[in-house]
Amino acid sequence: MQAGAIAATRVVVSFLFICHGAMGLFGTFGGVDGQGGTVELFTWPDWWGSMIHLVAGTLVLVGLFTRAAALLCSGAMAYAYFTVHQPIALLPIPNGGEPAALYSWIFLLIGILGPGAFALDTLRRRRAAA
């Protein structure tokens, strides 16, 4: 039961995270400017952050190298919180950093607990044991 709940959380959170990456890289969901705009190629941290959202988010979604990918996602969101949001105001609600803080903590939890059920990491471990 617990492994299923972790897996469901992993899938939903990483899917939403991937959507943010697609928004920055491909202009989906209105893009970064509300009119389909994308982030400039190879810019720091915008383009690289969007790549982390898309690539590491996809790894977490399918449960492949989940712990490392989740910790990368967590760190990216902690970086976003402290460099973009925290200078505006100390607390998350006034500085608009609630999503960054939540993503950071949820991905940290996934990184610690592992992927749960229905993960490619489970298949990798079974094959390695056989």
Q: Taking a C-beta distance cutoff of 8 angstroms, is the pair 21, 53 a contact?
A: yes
pLDDT tens digit string along 16-51?
A: 999 999 999 999 999 999 999 999 999 999 999 999
pLDDT at 1 over 90: no
127 pLDDT tier (thresholds 50, 70, 90): confident
Q: Phi first, then psi: give them for residue 92, nearest 5 degrees.
A: -65, -35
Q: pLDDT tens digits for 111-121?
A: 999 999 999 99
How far is 9 from 31, CA to CA, in rounded Å? Answer: 25
